[in-house]
Amino acid sequence: MIFRLILVGALIVLAGLVLAWMITGDGKYLRFAGRVLRFLVVLGVVMALVFIAERLILI
């Protein structure tokens, strides 16, 4: 539940940052979007590891 909310919020932020970059042409928005994207990838890997650990513990 919380992961989904974080994902939706981050996707909205990413869309806003890319839109701001397209309008202004300033690279700082694109760099920040890259940081948000890296955060999402790391969060996804951590959540996958938690799910795997949960499955292994419950077996």
pLDDT for residue 58? 85
Q: Under DSSP, is residue 16 helix (H, G, I), strand (E, B) or coil?
A: helix
pLDDT tens for 3-55 read: 889 889 999 999 999 999 999 999 999 999 999 999 999 999 999 999 999 99
Domain residues for the domain of 36 are 2-58
Cα separation, 17 vs 31, whole angstroms: 9
Cα separation, 30 vs 1, whole angstroms: 28
pLDDT for residue 19? 96
Tokens 């419950």 appear where? 58
Of the candidates 36, 39, 41, the one whose C-alpha atom is nearest the C-alpha of residue 12 is: 36
Q: pTM for the complete prediction?
A: 0.77
Task: Please state the length of the chain.
Answer: 59
The tally of domains found in the chain comes to 1
